[in-house]
Amino acid sequence: MKKETSIATAIGKIILIGEHAVVYGQPALAIPFPETKIKTIINREKGPVSLECYFYKGLFSKAPDRLLGLTTIVREIVSSFNEKLKDFNITIESSILPERGMGSSAAVAVATVKALYDFFNRPLTEEDLFKWSNMSEKIVHGNPSGIDTAIIIGEKPLYYVKGKPFIPFPFELDAYLVVADTGELGETQAAVSAVKKMVDSNPHKVKPLIRQLGNLTRAAMDSIEKGDIVRLGMIMNNAHAILDELGVSNEKLNYFVSVATKNGALGAKLTGGGRGGCMIALAASKEEAEFICKKLILSGAENTWISNMGVDRK
């Protein structure tokens, strides 16, 4: 029987450590961030396909280029089903701000692929979900490591190495993660290209930095396993310093890192592509996390969230 409506959701993600280095084969750690969500709703409706989302409302065929990742996979999926691109509309509701390093583009792709498969009554394997979502990410980001797609599909803390099977890891830290939005759009693609240029033009200086980031990720994993939040905080600070050296931080991110660490954070760093987007900070207690959030808001943060990293984390 034909479906009238299909709804699917996907949650956001936070890269704890390892961004950028992960593009070069180093590991990264990412955790789901259920505080933010994407919901795709597909409704049967006669006529040409329409699309409504954060950036655009109108005919699907006239969607702007910035939505090319999404529109390409919708076309390809419908065509792979031997169905026609008509008689339905797509609405994407989002509490994940775009271009903030929270994985909004991957979450939009994951939710939309799931909704389309359901709407057309096709069984969806995890392999296909990854393939389509990463196809969209390639269009959006150029050369993605795949970490966003992997974490958003798996919804479990992940130790990720590009091209390797995903390794979920137990994550039961007695600590809180503060996430602060700079209000500035991140520039993942530009930042990834800039790092590549540095690697190509100055490999002797830059490759060791990438390897150091990889070592910090391994040390972070070890600290998480041992429950050593003080060491994890120091590792986050070190990772931020290297990311700054790689040119992917900016003034506001550096300022937020200093506000967080001056106000009791065990460590702080940018998260995701950088040059805008969000900063994360580690706090030993909920009260300290709330205090840090207050200070960050007073310092110009657009929004803050507190994520429980402990056993009762959803």
Q: Does 12 bind ligand PMV (CB under 6 A)?
A: no
Q: Does 268 bind ligand PMV (CB under 6 A)?
A: no
Q: CA-to-CA distance for 236 and 223, rounded, in angstroms?
A: 11
Q: Does 145 bind ligand PMV (CB under 6 A)?
A: yes
For residue 43, what are its two tokens?
């409704």
Q: CA-to-CA distance for 223 and 232, rounded, in angstroms?
A: 6
| Residue from 16, 147, 158, 280 in contact with ligand PMV (CB under 6 A) | 147
Q: Does 192 bind ligand PMV (CB under 6 A)?
A: yes
312 classed as catalytic? no
Q: Does 96 bind ligand PMV (CB under 6 A)?
A: no
Helix (H) or strand (E) holding 280: strand 278-283
Q: CA-to-CA distance for 28 and 12, rounded, in angstroms?
A: 16
Q: CA-to-CA distance for 230 and 235, rounded, in angstroms?
A: 9
| Residue from 27, 32, 69, 103 in contact with ligand PMV (CB under 6 A) | 103
* Choices 4-12, 137-145, 164-172, 206-214 (CB under 6 A): range interacting with ligand PMV: 137-145
Strand pairing category for 86-94 and 50-53: parallel
Per annotation, catalytic residue among 87, 148, 174, 244: 148
Place of tokens 């995903």: 166
Q: Does 101 bind ligand PMV (CB under 6 A)?
A: yes
| Residue from 10, 40, 148, 234 in contact with ligand PMV (CB under 6 A) | 148
Q: Does 153 bind ligand PMV (CB under 6 A)?
A: no
Decide: 253 and 274 in contact? Cβ < 8 Å.
yes
Query: How crowded is the C-beta side of 132, counted as CA atoms within 13 Å?
Result: 28
Give the interface with ligand PMV as residue ranges (CB under 6 A). 15, 19-20, 22-23, 101, 103, 141, 144-145, 147-148, 186, 188, 192, 272-273
Among all residues, which ones are annotated catalytic? 148
